[in-house]
Amino acid sequence: SQQGEEDPQALSIQEGENATMNCSYKTSINNLQWYRQNSGRGLVHLILIRSNEREKHSGRLRVTLDTSKKSSSLLITASRAADTASYFCATDPQRNDMRFGAGTRLTVKP
Amino acid sequence: DGGITQSPKYLFRKEGQNVTLSCEQNLNHDAMYWYRQDPGQGLRLIYYSQIVNDFQKGDIAEGYSVSREKKESFPLTVTSAQKNPTAFYLCASSIRAGEAFFGQGTRLTVV
């Protein structure tokens, strides 16, 4: 079963705007990760946030984690056309595994 | 260069055939994973392994088998028991509870 669920399923914005994607999960976790996938390719790791962290930044990316609500958000600031991709959150409900949500398809229009 | 390699990139299977997808990593990672991705969908976990000679079933293990005889290798066999194997298969490796590195995938089609 899917552990994480991303919201929205699809998001379309103009270049320069911010994009926010959300992830909700069902069980306790050790950490939560965000990945990006360009069409037909493997996934690329973006950022990892541990269960005892609340916020993390990496370049134009900002991730928050609320373990009480079992949710996380990924913010991409000043988006570019090259950010067009699918974004997935991944959690480790069994501590040794890694399960993904269904993803958010982001389209950034030039 | 360190990395994770999947082969082949494209694979065609006849009805009733078993096929094996290769996944090799030289990152010295203990953990390896296999996922299935259907068009427009997320990744579903097939099998994972945290150490050599040990592996666990994921959410959709039926019709698949794996082995982990070497740290570097985690091949996936799609058996004839898997009735709908056409999909994109992704392999990944990681240190425990860490960032995962993915291969470029194998696209399997039943002909």
Q: Kindly report, residue by residue over A57-101, the tens digit of the pLDDT.
A: 999 999 999 999 999 999 999 999 999 999 999 998 777 789 998
Instruction: Report the residue of A97, A105, A107 to disrupt the B interface, i.e. the one with the largest count of B CBs within 10 Å.
Output: A97
Query: Is residue B14's pLDDT more than 60?
Result: yes
Q: Taking CA B89 as the corner, what is the angle to CA A83 and CA B72, rounded to the nearest 5 degrees? A: 100
Q: What is the pLDDT of residue B6?
A: 97
pLDDT of residue A1: 47
**Of residues A31, A62, A30, A27, the one with CA closest to residue A46:** A62
Nearest to B58 among A31, A97, A101 (CB): A97
Q: How high is the pLDDT of residue A6?
A: 85
State which residue of chain A sits closest to B99, comparing Cα positions.
A45
Q: Model confidence over A3-60: pLDDT tens digits?
A: 678 889 999 999 999 999 999 999 888 899 999 999 889 999 999 999 999 999 999 9
> Which residues are within 8 A (CB) of A68 and not within 5 positions of it... i.e. 6 or more apart?
none
**If we measure between CA atoms, which residue out of A9, A82, A88 comes closest to residue B90?**
A88
Element (H, E) at A73: strand A71-76
Per-residue model confidence (pLDDT) at position B12: 93
How far is residue A69's CA from residue A71's CA, in Å, rounded to a whole number? Answer: 5
Please give the single-letter amino acid code of residue A1.
S
d(CA A42, nearest CA chain B) in Å = 5
